[in-house]
Structure 1
Amino acid sequence: MNRYQQLAESIKQQIKQKTWRVGEKIPSLRAASKSYSVSSSTVLHAYQLLEAQGWIKAKPQSGYFVCVRSENIVSQRGIFSSCESYNDKLFDYMKNGGTGGYDLGSPFPHFSLFPFTELNRHMASAGRKVNFDMIAENQPPGNEALRRIVAQRYLAQGVMVSHDDITLTSGAMDALNMSLQVTCEPGDTVVVESPSFYGAIQSIKRAGLNVIEVEVCPRHGINLEQLADAFEQHNVRACWLMVNFHNPTGSVLSDTKKSQLLELANKYDVLIIEDDVYADLYFGSQKPRPIKYWDVKDRVLLCGSLSKSLAPGYRIGWVVNHRFSQKLQKCQFLSTLAVSAPVQEGIADYLKYSSYDNHLRKLRKKLHQYMDCFYINLVSQLPDTTIVNRPDGGYFIWVQFPSHINTEKLYYKLLEQDISIAYGELFAFYKSFESCLRINVSQVPMDKISCVVAKIAQLIK
């Protein structure tokens, strides 16, 4: 943990213990620097982190003040009546992506990183073989050969599953939405991360659920202390979590904390919907384990997809869970009916006869290069008061600016220069991240990254 993170944690504990009460002003940068024997820059970084997490709020010309929170757990009922503009904002953001220029707000790696020519060859081959019997065989739970391959890949990682525990879906969002439907009823309470993937926000809004937001540290993942408080104080039905290369922060929860998280869920009888679509995009020597690895009570609905690692647009995802398998299949029959039979056959054919792992090695190497290049340019060109969080996998960088920077305004200014970003307000039920943004590092050629970052830096200045 960096010094500024240690300082932020110390001040957070003081607020929890009511040393600093809601509405009170905390020490100035100079006073805190002297008290804690650290530089003013370290204090500023700590205060910015606390502000991004919702513990304190800066007031112009006045300093930093403790925010109104209930044990720093944000619980809100009927939240959606006050968020009518969110859909419009999200639609506008999605509409402006992929229309030319540099789409740093894109949710996918750049299209050039995928083996589309090879994929299409397998699709064409599978399409020629499709007949009525094959269409019936590809109905829920889905293509058996494909489910076996998915199960085998999990087994190689030590996750004990059977192909009979897997239900194929039309992409990860379909998997996550169906998991929410089979585990929750309108009016139930769910925990989500803060910041959170905007797809989760949309799904929970549609499902009519009550929300508890638990903060995510960009480096260390979800705050288990807050999660335990949420479970203890509320009747939580389920959690929607992304513990491996979290979108948008890029954080990874340690194995120890994943195990502890599951112990908490077991203790309070909470179901876990695990979004694990980025796990194959690690930069180290070992793929991070899902929470499902420790799950002996079948409490975790593990949701995966090939959209971020192999085939965006082909809409192949899955849910791994035995307990809810029949409900998931029924849910799919009554909604999308089934995943496209030719697509299931084509993807199964590719995974069986082509080297998916070889493709992944190339993809990870390229994303790692993009990440390093983007990180170096962001750190060197943005103001010193900026916090740039470099993850160990995936393709997103989460950037935190001082509180007076509004990244939604920055977003519209950058659109004028044919650059799109994902601004922080899209990633929370509350407006807690107005000074943050998410950058997709794969969308700019290596030799253009410095120029694109320079344009962002100029607007910030």
Structure 2
Amino acid sequence: MKKDFLYQEISQNIARLIKNNVLKAGDRLPSVRMLCTAHGISMNTAKRVYLELEGQSLIESKPQSGYFVSGRRKLLPLPETSRPLPAGSEEEPEQLIARVYDNMGKPGLTLFSIGVPDQRLLPVARLNKEMIQATRRLSGGGTAYEELQGNEKLRLAIAARSFSWGGSLREKDIITTAGGMNALSFSMMAVSKPGQTIAVESPVYPGILQLARSLGLRVLELPTHPRTGIEPDALKKVLPQIHLCLLVTNFSTPLGSCMPDTHKREVVKLLAERNIPLIEDDLYGDLYFGNSRPSCCKAYDKTGHVLWCSAVSKTLAPGYRVGWVAPGRYKEQLLQLKLSHAISSSAITQEVVAGFLESGRYDHHLRKMRRTLQHNCDHYTQTIAGHFPPGTRTGRPQGGLTLWVELDKRINTTDLYASAIRQHISIAPGRMFTLQQQFENCMRLCFGLPWTDELQHKLQQLGRIAAMQL
């Protein structure tokens, strides 16, 4: 109670200074460490103070720079931290998921619903040239089977890039797969048995829920903050109940949350002490908006129990289906599964991606893509702030592809989807991202579409349709 009182008192004092214009728009706030020293509080309490003020739209964080009093941009409040039931009923919204994903490829639709970058954001021409060169380099033009562990040149490039997030992987630590979901699938099969319990974020990507259910796993959804991800204390409480954990640690979909380094380190330690495997889905880590890439849980793995999974599906070429996993102590199980289920990965697309990474073109492409995505995200949040009904809250992702929008509780986004699709607008209703009866007033929007006047009009139109639900 004393800690709660202190955190509330400090946040209220700072809020008062901002509202009384003592602290003005653009003013830099003390660092978290300085706040600790000034008030004699812990790092966690100091961070909680700033998260509370951020949730009230009084301050904003800037990657690698710190916290500032909010400027002229209109910032909506953050969505609430999720509070799934500890033992909720598991009910997969299969029909809703099928309806939304059936829209892929349909002409004339504005696909806010599908979390992939538009092809206009991808270096298609350069990839096509790399494809021609790859057929010349490979024996038989890429028609032969690749070795079981995967293209060595690609694995070397991935290992070298691991230094950017604090890793120290070698090519022999990595196994290539047919995309990110294939990496997650093999990882789940390697470390679990039917009837066991897997802990995940809430909300979470529906493909993860579907995969877990198909393997006979029970799903336990964890409370999740829209900025910092799962709460380590909540994970600690359920450790005796779970057998494995799967987390999207960097810019998760749909929330866009990114776990702080302290949380990642603590989660790895908690799970290692119980010998519980952690499957880390790092699909979005390269899409950061700040000055440096966030770390991964794998960087803190001293026992080999973290299985780090990633792919180029969200950054370079969704259709190439090139992914990988660094499975740690579970390498032999992964290799056996790949042999049984796939024999080999696609030789030609692995070679193309390897060449792209090796040449430096990938980093050049990423720099351009990140600028575009940050620009898009800012436009989305400002348009929503100006044209959506009162009571709307939005996430503030510092990377990734998606924005989580929480509407007035009277608005059901499954009904909103039905109304919007008649106007050729597709959204992803919040109910898709859980097995429980929650998030029914929420939705996920992808900002991987090129920002145009037409797209802005569609987003404004979506706000008007939402207002009609009240």
State the TM-score, normalizing by the size of structure 1. Answer: 0.82
Structure 1 CA distance, aligned partners of 2:138 and 2:77? 59
SS of the equivalent of 1:313 reads helix
What are the Cα deviations for residues 219-273 of structure 1, in whole angstroms up to 9, with x where unaligned?
A: 22112121111103x1x21101011001100011100111111111112221100
CA contact (8 A) 2:145 2:344 kept: no
SS of the equivalent of 2:437 reads coil
Match of 1:285 in 2: 291
Structure 2 CA distance, aligned partners of 1:184 and 1:436? 31
Structure 1's 297 and 239: CA in aligned 2 closer, same or farther, altered over 3 A? Answer: same
CA contact (8 A) 1:169 1:175 kept: yes
CA contact (8 A) 2:135 2:141 kept: no
SS of the equivalent of 1:127 reads helix
1:53 and 2:66 are equivalent in the alignment: no
1:456 and 2:462 are equivalent in the alignment: yes
Structure 1 CA distance, aligned partners of 2:246 and 2:336? 21
1:322 and 2:328 are equivalent in the alignment: yes
Q: Give 1:450 shift.
A: 3.0
Match of 2:67 in 1: none
Match of 1:190 in 2: 198
Match of 2:132 in 1: 124
User: Which of 415, 418, 441 is equivalent to 1:435?
Assistant: 441
Structure 2 CA distance, aligned partners of 1:457 and 1:172? 33
User: Which of 129, 148, 161 is equivalent to 1:140?
Assistant: 148
Match of 1:15 in 2: none
Match of 1:227 in 2: 235
Specify the code of the residue in structure 1 equivalent to 2:169. Answer: V
- Aligned pair count? 399
Match of 2:225 in 1: 217
Specify the code of the residue in structure 2 equivalent to 1:184. Answer: S
User: Which of 88, 98, 109 is equivalent to 2:95?
Assistant: 88
Any gaps of 5 or more consecutive residues in structure 2? 1-6, 12-55, 59-75
Percent identity for Structure 1 against Structure 2: 32
Structure 1 CA distance, aligned partners of 2:79 and 2:310? 34
Structure 1 CA distance, aligned partners of 2:168 and 2:94? 39
Q: Give 1:135 shift.
A: 6.0
Structure 2 CA distance, aligned partners of 1:48 and 1:327? 40
Q: Give 1:216 shift.
A: 1.1
Q: Give 1:212 shift.
A: 1.0
Q: Give 1:278 shift.
A: 0.3
User: Which of 208, 218, 222 is equivalent to 2:216?
Assistant: 208
CA contact (8 A) 1:244 1:251 kept: yes
Specify the code of the residue in structure 1 equivalent to 2:139. Answer: N
User: Which of 229, 254, 269 is equivalent to 2:275?
Assistant: 269
Structure 2 CA distance, aligned partners of 1:271 and 1:227? 13
What are the Cα deviations for residues 407-439 of structure 1, in whole angstroms up to 9, with x where unaligned?
A: 011111111111111110110011211110000
Structure 2 CA distance, aligned partners of 1:407 and 1:165? 43
Specify the code of the residue in structure 2 equivalent to 1:441. Answer: F
Matched ranges for 1:222-371 at <5 A: 222-232=230-240, 234=241, 236-371=242-377
CA contact (8 A) 2:397 2:403 kept: yes
Task: Between 175-184 and 120-129, report the one with greater CA deviation.
Answer: 120-129
Task: Between 161-170 and 441-450, report the one with greater CA deviation.
Answer: 441-450
Match of 1:386 in 2: 392
Structure 1's 154 and 178: CA in aligned 2 closer, same or farther, altered over 3 A? Answer: same
Match of 1:175 in 2: 183
Task: Between 305-314 and 131-140, report the one with greater CA deviation.
Answer: 131-140
Structure 1's 240 and 48: CA in aligned 2 closer, same or farther, altered over 3 A? Answer: closer
CA contact (8 A) 1:48 1:402 kept: no
Matched ranges for 1:38-117 at <5 A: 49=80, 53-54=83-84, 69=85, 73-74=86-87, 79=90, 82-83=91-92, 86-100=93-107, 101-117=109-125
SS of the equivalent of 1:323 reads helix
Structure 1's 449 and 134: CA in aligned 2 closer, same or farther, altered over 3 A? Answer: closer
Q: Give 1:160 shift.
A: 1.6
SS of the equivalent of 2:328 reads coil
CA contact (8 A) 1:104 1:439 kept: yes
When the two chains are superposed, the root-mean-square deviation of aligned CA atoms in Å is 2.5
Structure 2 CA distance, aligned partners of 1:6 and 1:320? 42
Q: Give 1:460 shift.
A: 1.4
Matched ranges for 1:389-408 at <5 A: 389-408=395-414
SS of the equivalent of 2:316 reads coil
Task: Between 134-143 and 145-154, report the one with greater CA deviation.
Answer: 134-143
CA contact (8 A) 2:78 2:226 kept: no
SS of the equivalent of 2:417 reads helix
What are the Cα deviations for residues 27-62 of structure 1, in whole angstroms up to 9, with x where unaligned?
A: xxxxxxxxxxxxx999xx999736x535xxxxxxxx
CA contact (8 A) 2:312 2:322 kept: yes
Structure 2 CA distance, aligned partners of 1:323 and 1:134? 31
User: Which of 417, 437, 459 is equivalent to 1:411?
Assistant: 417
CA contact (8 A) 1:274 1:291 kept: yes
Match of 2:27 in 1: none
CA contact (8 A) 2:393 2:406 kept: yes
SS of the equivalent of 1:452 reads helix
Structure 2 CA distance, aligned partners of 1:243 and 1:363? 21
CA contact (8 A) 1:377 1:449 kept: no
Specify the code of the residue in structure 2 equivalent to 1:176. Answer: L
